[in-house]
Amino acid sequence: MKYLLCLLLPIACFAQLRVAKEFDHHMVIQCNKPVRIFGKGNPHNSIEVLFANEKIISVVKLDSTWVAEFKKQKASAVPTKIIVLSGNERIELNNILIGDVWLCIGQSNMEWPAEKEIHFKEERLKMDQPLIRFYNPTFVGKNVFGKPYSDSLMKRLNPKDFYAGRWQTCDSNSVKTMSAVGYFFGKRIMKETSIPIGLLHLAIGGAPIETFVNPDVMKNNPAFAAKVKGNWLANDALPVWVRERGKENLKGNLKTLDDESPNHAYKPGFAFESGVYPLTKLPIKGILWYQGESNAQEKPRVLEYADLMKLMVDDYRKNWSDSALPFYFVQLSSIDSIKYASALWPSFRNEQRLALDKTKYSGMAVCSDIGARADVHPRDKKTVGDRLARWALNKTYNKKIIPSGPLPLHAKYADGKITIHFRYAGKNLLTSDGQSVRGFSLDGKTDAAATINKQTITIETKEIPQYVYYAWKPYTDANLINSERLPATTFKIKIEK
């Protein structure tokens, strides 16, 4: 009878004691939220889990899973352990801190490694940061461009094997391949709060927003259901560029896949299912998002972005059971349109600004002033990380700090002039170079003379235009800043009469 049971339940019978792969040496566990430690073992076996001077006894369920739930823990820089015991089996995870965990996702500018950032040489001697930890996995297809995937990569192209990595302590060697944006964000937060910081990094170079969105949520939303219909490689509801890259990588390998929509890093919902969803079992402090370049080249993709991003964020908050989960994102920088298809970037940056208004508990780091004229990957990620950190310090950690450069509130026309009011103007509006203010337009094409009047901008005009634009060029020389020297966002707003 016992032999027959093992035939029926082979996985359960031969399961060994283990913790879920999300738990590891050197990890950071989210403070001030209940702690759930879980894994697998032999059904009916008793499990003892020791953590934070507390012991929980659990029993492995018939499906081989076990869970131990611990009370909330305060942030602590003193390393602790997780010990799991079952019969003669023992698992011990060491050097674990209690702090704040941030998820870093997006595409290549979030993925951009610290060793390629312009401040790396001067920063390297300061990168031994034992209170910063990161989970920085590689993924299938990383740095494979313009050619088919090998058979070995194809075998790993499934949600279980797509990401592979371990938690690490931050030092000058381990940080080399870590997200530079994530590192500089985490360092500033840690320095100003003294809270240990954990960074979960799942960014994918070239990835569209669609891969990070729950496919079931898109399927059930009339505006986005088309994105998950049929073979994604032939789906016109998805960005052209990412489909072209997918075809290059999967060429000659389609016969090895058993469905009509093959897996790939860019497939709608694939990064969500492979990386984001498994992490929803662990509490986190918030989310950092730097993505958009792959969705900014076609007008339909640009105009839907704000709503699609809100859909993604709302679903993440639902999965993490936190309706106020912070979401801080980066507005696209500047790049010339001569060598790059960036004609729609001003409109895209404006859509991101609109997303800020549509998405509660969010913040947007403006970076149009640090773009590279001919490079989609600006090398200054320290400024990006610092600007994201300002939002978190203000909104999440309640520090008295201005989180952003000027954001437009409204523009009114009266007596032959337009007056534009701003949020986060600081003490006064200024220009970054001390020259006259640049970047304003009344038609999106022609420069309009503007004047700074303390915390407002005025533009004189005899005619009453419909809109006022700012920084409405792919590579902008707009120079409006606030007293904290933070740049104003690209915008297009309707003029009130």
CATH number of the domain that residue 374 is part of? 3.40.50.1110
pLDDT of 357 > 50? The answer is yes
pLDDT band at 261 (very low <50, low <70, confident <90, very high): confident
The reply to whether 86 and 104 lie within a common domain is no
The reply to whether 416 and 376 lie within a common domain is no
395, 403 contact by CB (below 8 A): yes
The reply to whether 175 and 317 lie within a common domain is yes
Calculate mean pLDDT across residues 425-439: 96
Question: What gap in Å lies between CA 196 and CA 204, rounded to an integer?
Answer: 25
Residue recorded with tokens 């290549």:
108
pLDDT of 130 > 80? The answer is yes
Which of 250-264, 294-308, 434-448 is predicted least confidently? 250-264
Amino acid 252: pLDDT: 63
- Residue at 389: amino acid letter: A
SS (H, E, C) 371-411: CECCECCCCCHHHHHHHHHHHHHHHHCCCCCCCCCCEEEEE
441 falls within a domain: yes
Buried b (16+ CB within 10 A) or exposed e, 404-425: bbbbbeebebeeeebbbebebb
Counted domains in the chain: 3
The reply to whether 248 and 363 lie within a common domain is yes
Write out the H or E segment, with its range, that includes residue 121: helix 120-123
pLDDT of 4 > 90? The answer is no
CATH assignment of the domain containing 45 = 2.60.40
Which of 13-22, 79-88, 268-277, 384-393 is predicted least confidently? 13-22
Buried b (16+ CB within 10 A) or exposed e, 427-438: eebbebeeeebb
127 falls within a domain: yes
- Which of 364, 396, 428 is the endpoint of a domain? 396
- Which of 343, 367, 396 is the endpoint of a domain? 396
pLDDT of 296 > 50? The answer is yes
Amino acid 256: pLDDT: 44
290 falls within a domain: yes
pLDDT band at 2 (very low <50, low <70, confident <90, very high): very low
Residue recorded with tokens 């920084």:
471
Q: How do residues 68-93 score in pLDDT, each as one tens digit?
A: 999 999 999 999 999 999 999 999 99
Q: What is the CA radius of gyration of the chain?
A: 25
pLDDT band at 5 (very low <50, low <70, confident <90, very high): very low
Question: What is the pTM assigned to this prediction?
Answer: 0.93
| Mean of all residue pLDDT scores within the chain | 93
Tokens representing residue 315 in the block: 């679903």
pLDDT of 497 > 50? The answer is yes
- Which of 371, 396, 421 is the endpoint of a domain? 396
DSSP per position, 113-149: BGGGSTTHHHHGGG--EEEEEEE--EETTTT--SSPP
Q: How do residues 28-43 score in pLDDT, each as one tens digit?
A: 999 999 999 999 999 9
pLDDT of 7 > 70? The answer is no
The reply to whether 62 and 103 lie within a common domain is no
Question: What gap in Å lies between CA 154 and CA 257, rounded to an integer?
Answer: 9
The reply to whether 103 and 140 lie within a common domain is yes
Which residue(s) pair with 68 in the sheet? 37
The reply to whether 106 and 83 lie within a common domain is no
pLDDT of 254 > 80? The answer is no
The reply to whether 123 and 64 lie within a common domain is no
Calculate mean pLDDT across residues 301-328: 97
Tell me the CA end-to-end span of the chain in Å, nearest whole number.
84
> Would you state the torsion angle of the CA atoms of residues 93, 96, 102, 106, taken in this order, to the nearest 10 degrees?
-40
Other Cβ atoms within 10 Å of 112 Cβ, number: 23
The reply to whether 305 and 220 lie within a common domain is yes
The reply to whether 446 and 370 lie within a common domain is no
Q: How do residues 203-233 score in pLDDT, each as one tens digit?
A: 999 999 999 999 999 999 999 999 999 999 9
Pick the closest to residue 319 from 389, 412, 214 (CA basis): 214
Amino acid 251: pLDDT: 84
Backbone angles phi, psi at 333, to 5 degrees: -80, -150
The angle at the Cα of 41, spanning 35 to 46, to the nearest 5 degrees, equals 75
pLDDT of 453 > 50? The answer is yes
109, 156 contact by CB (below 8 A): no
Which residues, other chains included, contact 396 with Cβ-Cβ below 8 Å and sequence gap of 6+?
Answer: 285, 286, 326
The reply to whether 296 and 362 lie within a common domain is yes
Other Cβ atoms within 10 Å of 376 Cβ, number: 16
Calculate mean pLDDT across residues 283-307: 97
Calculate mean pLDDT across residues 466-490: 97
Q: How do residues 154-192 score in pLDDT, each as one tens digit?
A: 999 999 999 999 999 999 999 999 999 999 999 999 999
Amino acid 1: pLDDT: 40
Buried b (16+ CB within 10 A) or exposed e, 265-277: bbbbbbbbbbbbe
The reply to whether 32 and 105 lie within a common domain is no
402 falls within a domain: no
Q: Which domain holds residue 15?
A: 2-96
Pick the closest to residue 268 from 214, 326, 210 (CA basis): 210
368 falls within a domain: yes
34, 70 contact by CB (below 8 A): yes
pLDDT band at 339 (very low <50, low <70, confident <90, very high): confident
Amino acid 467: pLDDT: 97
321 falls within a domain: yes
Amino acid 12: pLDDT: 38
Question: What gap in Å lies between CA 272 and CA 49, rounded to an integer?
Answer: 30
148 falls within a domain: yes
194 falls within a domain: yes
